[in-house]
């Protein structure tokens, strides 16, 4: 810790990171504080760059790309795979031919992923607030979701189920019924989570009014995902760029107006109900046994983009097809990348002990950001 002068006032510099208990991943935030109150923030995200964009344009051909981009993030792996696949399919020109069953299986994967991610972050937030008990409880509930995913796709978080032109495993009748049973249990635990985040005095008092982002600010800084929706911005890429059947199923965009940390949590909780509904609809709407994989003969030849709603918000893929097996450029803009610029602004004036919950309420995923 060292003391420096900012605007004639004595400030204490507190570094947080690159490793910190509140952070699951490495990021460095440096706070200049004056008696616990944060005055200035600077950050550095240069710890986890792995060159995945480069490797996609030099090493792997496009059929392997969905598996490679799944390794960008451990939690929202399938969101990356789907966005990449949809962009590739648009680039090849077969996105109109993808069968309904494929869309349904992809939707189930993405929504399961969203469920476990929201449970994870809300549990983690409770832990950062010092509420170990809720953390344990929510992660126990998350275990059911992971088991469900294991049953469906053969892995707990890295589903690897999407490939260009389809999906590579189907959900059979028997598993379908077991999923429906599991969903009931999951719904119950979401109810529990909702109760915790609306009723529990400790959490509500801690999170209420923390880090308020007004609607104008949210627009100005281009927030995405639950963080934007908590400030009243009605945006959801599942509706805006619909690769599945979300519009047919009437997905509801959940918004709140408070814009504080509690609202961000609650948006996530309510989204979980919506996700469960989407999984049910997707299971019911199509039946197994249809064709699940198209034959892909062409190479990517056009420029294509895909916006997909990852658990953390808008995920953007741009693929430049050159007619060769390896695309010319793959651009990945991850949700956290859009949510970081506002952090220094909301953190100013906050007491230092409130910084970890505030940071976690934005649900940062730094491995995604670094790529």
The number of residues that bind other proteins (CB under 8 A) is 62
List 30, 93, 99, 168, residue binding other proteins (CB under 8 A): 168
Distance in Å, CB of 303 to other proteins, minimum:
9
Q: Write down the least CB distance from residue 307 to other proteins, Å.
A: 7
Which of 71, 277, 280, 301 contacts other proteins by CB under 8 A? 71
- If binding is defined by CB under 8 A, does position 46 make contact with other proteins? yes
CB nearer other proteins, residue 140 or residue 351: 140
Write a three-state SS string for the chain: CEEEEECCEEEEEEEECCCCCCCCCCCEEEEEEECCEEEEEEEECCCCCCCHHHHHHHCCCCCCHHHHHCCCCCCCHHHHHHHHHHHHHHHHCCCCCCCHHHHHHHHHHHHHHHHHHHHHHHHHHHHHCCCHHHHHHHHHHHHHHHHHHHHHHCCCCCCCCEECCEECCCCCHHHHHHHHHHHHHHHHHHHHHHHHHHHCHHHHHHHCCCCCCCHHHHHHCCCCHHHHHHCCCCCCHHHHCCCCCHHHHCCCCCCCCCCCHHHHHHHHHHHHHHHHHHHHHHHHHCCCCCCCECCCCCCCCCEEEEEEEECCEEEEEEEECCCCCCCCEEEEECHHHHHCCCHHHHHCCCEHHHHHHHHHHCCCCHHHHHC
- Residue 209 binding other proteins, by CB under 8 A: no
Q: Which is nearer to other proteins, 168 or 285 (CB)?
A: 168
User: Considering the complex, what minimum distance in angstroms separates the CB of residue 345 from other proteins?
Assistant: 9
**Window 219-258: contact mask with other proteins (x via CB under 8 A):** xxxx------------x----xx-----------------
Q: Which of 82, 167, 342, 359 binds other proteins (CB under 8 A)?
A: 342
Give the interface with other proteins as residue ranges (CB under 8 A).
Answer: 44-47, 49-51, 53-55, 58-60, 63-64, 67-68, 71, 133, 137, 140, 143-144, 150-151, 153-155, 160, 163, 168-169, 192, 195-196, 199-201, 216, 219-222, 235, 240-241, 305, 307, 314, 316, 318, 320, 328-329, 331, 333, 337-338, 340-342, 370
């Amino acid at each position: 810790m060292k003391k420096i002068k900012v605007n004639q006032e004595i400030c204490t510099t507190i570094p947080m990171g690159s490793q910190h208990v509140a952070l699951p991943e490495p990021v460095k935030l440096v706070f200049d504080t004056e008696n616990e109150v944060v005055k200035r923030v600077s950050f550095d995200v240069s710890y986890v760059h792995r060159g995945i964009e480069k490797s996609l344009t030099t090493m792997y051909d496009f059929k392997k790309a969905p598996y490679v981009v799944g390794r960008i993030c451990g939690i929202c792996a399938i969101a990356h795979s789907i966005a990449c696949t949809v962009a590739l399919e648009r680039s090849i020109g077969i996105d109109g031919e993808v069968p309904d069953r494929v869309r349904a299986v992809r939707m189930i994967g993405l929504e399961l992923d969203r469920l476990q991610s929201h449970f994870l972050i809300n549990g983690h937030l409770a832990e950062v607030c010092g509420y170990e008990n809720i953390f344990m409880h929510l992660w126990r509930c998350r275990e059911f979701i992971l088991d469900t995913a294991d049953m469906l796709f053969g892995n707990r978080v890295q589903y690897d189920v999407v490939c260009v032109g389809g999906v590579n495993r189907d959900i059979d009748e028997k598993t379908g019924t077991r999923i429906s049973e599991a969903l009931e249990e999951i719904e119950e635990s979401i109810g529990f989570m909702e109760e915790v985040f609306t009723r529990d005095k400790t959490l509500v008092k801690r999170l209420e009014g923390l880090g308020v982002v007004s609607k104008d600010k949210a627009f100005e800084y281009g927030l995405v995902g639950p963080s934007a929706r908590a400030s009243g911005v009605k945006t959801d890429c599942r509706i805006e760029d619909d690769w599945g059947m979300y519009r047919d199923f009437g997905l509801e965009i959940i918004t709140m107006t408070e814009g504080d940390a509690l609202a961000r949590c609650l948006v996530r909780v309510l989204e979980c109900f919506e996700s469960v509904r989407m999984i049910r609809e997707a299971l019911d709407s199509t039946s197994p046994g249809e064709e699940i994989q198209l034959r892909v003969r062409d190479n990517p030849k056009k420029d294509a983009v895909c916006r997909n709603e990852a658990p953390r918000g808008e995920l953007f893929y741009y693929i430049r097809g050159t007619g060769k097996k390896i695309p010319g450029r793959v651009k990945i803009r991850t949700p956290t990348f859009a949510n970081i610029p506002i952090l220094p602004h909301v953190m100013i004036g906050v007491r230092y002990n409130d910084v970890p919950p505030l940071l976690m309420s934005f649900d940062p995923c730094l491995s995604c950001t670094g790529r």
